[in-house]
Amino acid sequence: MKKILTHLFDKFLCLVRHEGGQDLVEYALVIALIAFGATAGMRKVASGITTAFSNVSTQLGNDIT
């Protein structure tokens, strides 16, 4: 068990020391920011679509009767 933990710790140190690990973190942060922006934007779009369907439904209801 100690050998496995030592191996994992060595791999972790290798990741920390290489700059490639920093690139990975930067990409993850950019992806998280894009996901957050998309989520915030989708709420606005969803409310607009709901309003449009509600207006169409009301208009159709008024035209039928």
The tens digit of pLDDT for each residue in 33-62 reads 999 988 888 888 898 999 999 999 999 988
Asked if 10 and 4 touch (Cβ cutoff 8 Å), the reply is: no
Q: What is the pLDDT of residue 39?
A: 86
The tens digit of pLDDT for each residue in 20-40 reads 556 778 888 999 999 998 888
Q: Is residue 15 part of a domain?
A: no
Q: Is residue 17 part of a domain?
A: no
> What's the CA gap between 42 and 50, in Å, rounded?
12
Q: Is residue 54 part of a domain?
A: yes
Neighbours of 21 (CB within 10 A): 13
Q: Is residue 8 part of a domain?
A: no
Whose structure tokens read 């607009």?
Answer: 48
Asked if 15 and 21 touch (Cβ cutoff 8 Å), the reply is: yes
**18 by DSSP, 3-state: which?**
coil
